[in-house]
Amino acid sequence: MIETLKSADILLNILFQESSFKLLESINEISTSYIDRSDSRLQAAYDFKRQKHNAEVLIDYLSTDLSDVLNKKKLFITDVDIFRPQAEFVFGLSKSSGGEVAVVSTYRLKILDEELFISRFLKEALHELGHLFRLGHCQDKFCAMNLSLNLKDIDFKKIRFCRSCRKLLEESINDN
Ligand SMILES: [Zn+2]
Ligand SMILES: [Zn+2]
């Protein structure tokens, strides 16, 4: 069941059916893709000591070849475990200086309950895209921009931005 969800197309279709994403999609600024395990950029970011992929290295690799999607914000999805030097793992990471790239890992979001898995994915994808639109972390525990350090945090928040983040997002979109 979860296997079928590995298909990026399925996840991305669900993603853009969400009302919070429609706002983003309408400006045609986002391109999304799935990074296959055989992708050399993923392999290059593998850290043998920690036996996981370094999200910061990965995002640098992903930022270098954006010629096909100039001016677009790119959201990559991967199913490998990713980490940052200061953290055991991260659910996702974004970088908006240089290339505008974000990555979300489904590795730690997986659970047999398909609906729960999808909602976790949507929250983290929305969170990383929010960063690409210059949103910072939000103190509102229900807001997608609240920082999630564990699954409990993710499950607590909603698949939407709070009122003030949404306002900032709209301003950011209008500035572009
Ligand atoms: Zn964040
Ligand atoms: Zn917020």
pLDDT tens sequence across 47-103:
999 999 999 999 999 887 655 555 678 889 999 999 999 999 999 999 876 568 999
* Phi-psi group of 106: left, alpha or beta (phi > 0 → left; psi -120 to 50 → alpha; rest → beta): alpha
Distance from residue 110's CA to the centre of ligand 1 (Å)? 19
Active-site hit among 88, 128, 170, 171: 128
Sheet strands side by side (includes 52-54): 46-47, 52-54, 82-84, 87-90
Distance from residue 134's CA to the centre of ligand 2 (Å)? 12
User: Which residue is associated with the tokens 């306002």?
Assistant: 167
Complete domains list, the chain, with CATH = 2-175 (3.40.390.10)
pTM of the model: 0.86
Residue 128 falls in the annotated catalytic set = yes
pLDDT tens sequence across 164-173:
998 888 888 7
pLDDT tens sequence across 118-140:
899 989 998 998 898 889 999 99
CA–CA gap between residue 72 and residue 67 (Å, rounded): 10
